[in-house]
Structures are given as structure tokens and as C-alpha cells.
Amino acid sequence: MNIILLGPPGAGKGTQARILMDTKGFIQLSTGDMLRAAVAAQTEVGKRAKAVMDAGQLVSDEIVNAIVSERLDQPDVSSGVIFDGFPRTAAQASALDEMLSSKGMDLDRVVSMEVDDELLVERVSGRYTCAKCGEGYHDSFKKPAVEGTCDKCGSHEFKRRADDNAETVRGRLVAYHAETAPLIAYYEGQGKLVTVDGMAEIGTVTASIASALEA
């Protein structure tokens, strides 16, 4: 099964993608994570993407489509892919349709995660992740069981994203509403859209996604 998690910054795409990965064995394909890895490794793509990401704008379709296409050539995608943060523009959505059909893959469901803008700023501003395994946490909504220790891998090192400040989040929300939100109608037209309430608690959202995928 291949699915898209569609939603604004802080909607919980990464959180739910990791849960689906652990419980269903899917592969998480997060273009944000891939771009951050390219920035950290100072590759050509990373150098081109860094300033754009720090400003909360969208990296070019050309760069993003190329990294997704390359990732879809890996054999592990046969376990099922969760697209997290891709596609984000109409051009990316049609490129994905073409990529999937040329690789003999189907798109099964598009899960639209709905969350109000005011809550998103709070979610993103309080987010941090384990520097070792990438598990996500939040200052108020998801603290590790033992303070300062990752629940998953026991590491004591955490990090925050450069673009997770209130000002940049507002820019990312503008980009979301202008470029990405129209994809909701695009996938509704393909008969693949399911909508979940992303304002609920993490476990409740997980359950709604599970039933949406079974339906």
C-alpha cells in the first residue's frame, strides 16, 4: 500500500509516518528529512536548498522530484511507501502520478490531516527530535517518559530544527495554503482522499488513520 500524508507544517505527518513504519512496516519517504540530510552533508542539492528552507519557502519542484524519483528506485519501496511532505505543489503531484505509473506502483490513499493554523505554530515551536534515532517529541504534548532520555534508543542528545520558529512557521503556512492545500481537491477528484481530524491526541489520530486505510 502506498499513501500520502497531506497536511500543513506541524499537522503530525512525521509523527504518524513513524508510527505506521513501526506498526505496518512501511517506508517513510519524507522530502523534508531528505533535504535536511542533504543540507547537513553539504551536497550540491543541500547548498541550493538551505536558504530556501530556512526562509520557510518551497524548494524547487525540479530538485524535489529528482530526489523522490531516485528514492523510488530502491527495492525496499515494495514494502509500501508513506509520502510525508510530498507532493506539495500541483507540478509535484502530476510528477508523482507519472513516477508511480512508470515504476508500476499505485497510490492507494491520500490522508488529509486537518489542524487549525493557531495550533500548528504551537506544535512546531515546541518540537524537538532525538539526534540519534529521529524520534519526535514536544515540550508539552509528547515528552520522553524519562526526562532527557529518548524512549526509543536511550540517547541523551536532542535537536531542534532551524526552521522551527514562529516567524518561519507562518511563512511555511502561507506556502502550504497557496501551493499545497489545492491538492486536497486534486486527490478528491481521483477518489483517493480521506480526511482525519489532526487536532485530536496522537493515539486518536493514529486510530483514525488506521480505519481510513482499512475502509
Residue numbers annotated as active site:
13, 88, 127, 161, 172
Work out how close the CB of 104 gets to Mg ion at its nearest, in angstroms, rounded to a whole number: 28
Site size toward ligand AP5, by CB under 6 A: 37
Q: Looking at beta carbons, which pairs linking 71-78 to residues 24 or more positions away fall under 8 Å?
A: 71/29, 71/34, 72/29, 72/99, 72/100, 72/103, 72/105, 73/103, 76/27, 77/27, 77/29, 77/105
> Which among Mg ion, ligand AP5, none contacts residue 196 (Cβ within 5 to 8 A by kind)?
none
Please, which of residues 188-207 interact with ligand AP5 by CB under 6 A? Answer: 200-202, 205
Work out how close the CB of 136 gets to Mg ion at its nearest, in angstroms, rounded to a whole number: 8
- Torsion-angle region of residue 80: left (phi > 0), alpha (psi -120 to 50) or beta? left
Please, which of residues 72-131 interact with ligand AP5 by CB under 6 A? Answer: 85-86, 88, 92, 123-124, 126-127
> Which among Mg ion, ligand AP5, none contacts residue 31 (Cβ within 5 to 8 A by kind)?
ligand AP5
Interatomic CA distance for residues 103 and 96, integer angstroms:
10
Looking up cell 493514529 gives: 206
Interatomic CA distance for residues 108 and 14, integer angstroms:
19
Looking up cell 519557502 gives: 57
Site string for ligand AP5, 30-59 (x = CB under 6 A): -xx--x----------------xx--xxxx
Question: 98 or 139, CB closer to Mg ion?
Answer: 139
Please, which of residues 141-160 interact with ligand AP5 by CB under 6 A? Answer: 141-142
Contact range with ligand AP5 by CB under 6 A, out of 71-79, 94-102, 135-143, 185-193 = 135-143
64 is a contact residue toward ligand AP5 (CB under 6 A): yes
DSSP element (H, E) containing 69 = helix 61-71
> Which among Mg ion, ligand AP5, none contacts residue 4 (Cβ within 5 to 8 A by kind)?
none
Interatomic CA distance for residues 155 and 158, integer angstroms:
8
What residue number has its CB nearest to ligand AP5? Answer: 32
Burial of residue 172 (CB within 10 Å: 0-12, 13-18, 19+) is buried
